[in-house]
Structure 1
Amino acid sequence: MTAWLAIIAPAWIAGSILGLLSAPLGCLVLWRRMAFFADALAHGTLLGVAIAVWWQLPTGIGIAIVSVLVVLGLILMEDERLPTDAVLAVVAVSLLCLGLLTLTQLTDQQANVLGFLFGNLLELDWADLPLIAGSVLVGLVFLAYIWPAQIKLATHEALARIQGVDPTKQRLFFMGVLAGFCAIALQAVGSLLISGLLVLPALTARLWSTAPKQMVVFALIIAQVGVTLGVWSSIWLDIQTGLAIVLVLAVLFFMALLTTKIATKIRT
């Protein structure tokens, strides 16, 4: 048991730390209706990693380059004839294909593709935890700084403008936090599953909560439960840790949806 804990504990702690940022950030993603953008940015991390490996740059710089290009590209692609969700879906799948193509054809990372797609949290050790904790702390501090303005924009954008909130600047701030989270979460759940870790705890919490603060608290609890059960079940079932975490979160969501529907039927 002690030997297992030596392997699992760093992954478990790292995932729990990530949950502290993913829960409130996921709530904002839902309130601001930016789930599709988060998905596109998450898929873009794979291309960012590929560029970083190809040009021999730090991974964070590669992801930052792609994030900036995604934001600029979406601004240029704005067209009233095109539904935003459809544009984001096209961007997401294009980034995923480009990332896979670059990784497999222009780098020597073919053997690591599954890890980039689905994460490999169990490869983390104790030495990685300070960097993860520090990065999450910076993200939480910055999120707390922009939180009041983000809530105003999510509630009523026109009123927020009157109160002096700059939507463009706040949108860029929010995209920056999202990009940072994607970079941190890449090893935990991989490019394909980042949006699941981000959205599922908040979506489940939304079914049970009646106020924004309550939703954030519930999302934090659900994220911790999902990470804990996911890490341990990945060991028992011998599957990718990222897959296990997101699958547990998905099960929790569907259980919550079913129970709330049954409760509603009983009350009526």
Structure 2
Amino acid sequence: MLDDFLIRAALAGLGVAVAAAPLGCFVVWRRMAYFGDATAHAAILGVALALGFSMSVFTGALVVALAMALTVSALSGRGYAMDTLLGVMAHSALAFGLVAVSFLQGVRIDLMAYLFGDILAVDKTDLMVIWGGAMLVLALLVWRWQALLTATLGSDLAYASGVDPKREQLVLTLALALVVAVAIKVVGVLLIAAMLIIPAAAARPLSSTPERMAAIAVLIGMVSALGGLKLSFMLDTPTGPTIVCVAAIIFSATSTIGLINRNAA
């Protein structure tokens, strides 16, 4: 069964959707879109370090993405606006990563695959990493769901409820780094933020509770992955970007539905 590359690609896309969509809800609720983008951009530096030191790409991307997320969290509120800090660090990390890749001697690397993904090249080991990471992200979110929701509503409410918002921010940071590490092979560092944000944003007009939004976001992410894979095979287009295009079309449709419902109310 897993000898069919299309089946492996479909399973990889589903794994990324399962990991990214519920986490993306918190990214949308907390307005952390640029934070996710910065973490994803840093992953290319992790790829370069992993190849340079003969480590797995997953390990390198995870370590650097986590370091970036923790650094941004630590520096926020210390004299720089958050969007400025994220812009500087995101583009700097991406630039340093691209420069570091150019210094690798004797290592053949398809840079486009890491920038935009290469889901059709996923092998059985990649599938194990993707689904292992997805299950770990889901376990983190289920374990801390109520505390994360409380911290998202506000720091004062969190403290009053006995929840440490900084701890919950650390949980989100760890989950975000994991998603970046597992998604880099599927959609690439430049499109990871899209898979975090678009399914969650598309689910918002159809949702009445946080749990419903997370569930619908997962469904939209899965449909986007499978639909994008099929369309890219039929139209001979890049698979990662096509997956994001399908998600964007679904977002447009649900946004229109939400607008119609608000006008009718």
Normalising to structure 1: TM-score of the pair?
0.90
**Alignment match of 1:157 (pick from 143, 152, 155):** 155
- Is the Cα contact below 8 Å between 1:193 and 1:242 reproduced in 2? yes
Provide the rounded CA distance (Å) in 1 between the counterparts of 2:58 and 2:227: 29
**Alignment match of 2:111 (pick from 97, 110, 113):** 113
**Alignment match of 1:94 (pick from 86, 92, 95):** 92
TM superposition shift of 1:132: 2.5
TM superposition shift of 1:127: 4.9
> Bigger CA drift: 17-26 or 250-259?
250-259
Alpha-carbon displacement from aligned partner over 1:132-155 (angstroms, at most 9, x marks no partner): 222221221122112121111012
Residue in 2 aligned with 1:19?
17
Residue in 1 aligned with 2:102?
104
Alpha-carbon displacement from aligned partner over 1:33-91 (angstroms, at most 9, x marks no partner): 22111110011111111111112222233223323432443245434653212321222
Residue in 1 aligned with 2:231?
233
More helix by proportion, 1 or 2?
1
- Secondary structure class of the residue paired with 2:103: helix
Residue in 2 aligned with 1:143?
141
Query: Kindly tell me: are residues 136 and 165 of structure 1, through their superposed partners in 2, closer, same or farther at Cα, counting changes over 3 Å?
Result: same
**Alignment partner of 1:70 is 2:41:** no
RMSD between superposed Cα atoms in Å: 2.2
Query: Kindly tell me: are residues 138 and 8 of structure 1, through their superposed partners in 2, closer, same or farther at Cα, counting changes over 3 Å?
Result: same
Provide the rounded CA distance (Å) in 1 between the counterparts of 2:96 and 2:177: 18
- Is the Cα contact below 8 Å between 1:30 and 1:199 reproduced in 2? yes
Aligned length: 264
AA of the residue aligned to 1:120: D
Residue in 1 aligned with 2:199?
201
Provide the rounded CA distance (Å) in 2 between the counterparts of 1:214 and 1:76: 32
TM superposition shift of 1:227: 0.5
Normalising to structure 2: TM-score of the pair?
0.91
**Alignment partner of 1:60 is 2:58:** yes
Give unpaired runs (5+ residues) of structure 2.
Answer: none
> Bigger CA drift: 223-232 or 132-141?
132-141
Query: Kindly tell me: are residues 21 and 75 of structure 1, through their superposed partners in 2, closer, same or farther at Cα, counting changes over 3 Å?
Result: closer
Residue in 1 aligned with 2:123?
125
Residue in 2 aligned with 1:82?
80
The 4+ residue runs of structure 1 with deviation greater than 4 A are 107-111
Provide the rounded CA distance (Å) in 2 between the counterparts of 1:108 and 1:243: 29
Provide the rounded CA distance (Å) in 1 between the counterparts of 2:232 and 2:102: 26
TM superposition shift of 1:244: 0.8
Residue in 2 aligned with 1:256?
254
Provide the rounded CA distance (Å) in 2 between the counterparts of 1:132 and 1:76: 28
Query: Kindly tell me: are residues 162 and 23 of structure 1, through their superposed partners in 2, closer, same or farther at Cα, counting changes over 3 Å?
Result: same
**Alignment partner of 1:246 is 2:248:** no
Provide the rounded CA distance (Å) in 2 between the counterparts of 1:126 and 1:55: 23
How does 1:28-39 map onto structure 2 within 5 Å? 28-39=26-37
Alpha-carbon displacement from aligned partner over 1:146-195 (angstroms, at most 9, x marks no partner): 21211110123211112221222221121011101110000000000001
Query: Kindly tell me: are residues 61 and 10 of structure 1, through their superposed partners in 2, closer, same or farther at Cα, counting changes over 3 Å?
Result: closer
**Alignment partner of 1:215 is 2:232:** no
AA of the residue aligned to 2:234: W
> Bigger CA drift: 15-24 or 115-124?
15-24
Query: Kindly tell me: are residues 107 and 150 of structure 1, through their superposed partners in 2, closer, same or farther at Cα, counting changes over 3 Å?
Result: farther
Residue in 2 aligned with 1:169?
167
- Is the Cα contact below 8 Å between 1:103 and 1:109 reproduced in 2? no
Query: Kindly tell me: are residues 69 and 135 of structure 1, through their superposed partners in 2, closer, same or farther at Cα, counting changes over 3 Å?
Result: closer
Q: Percent identity?
A: 33
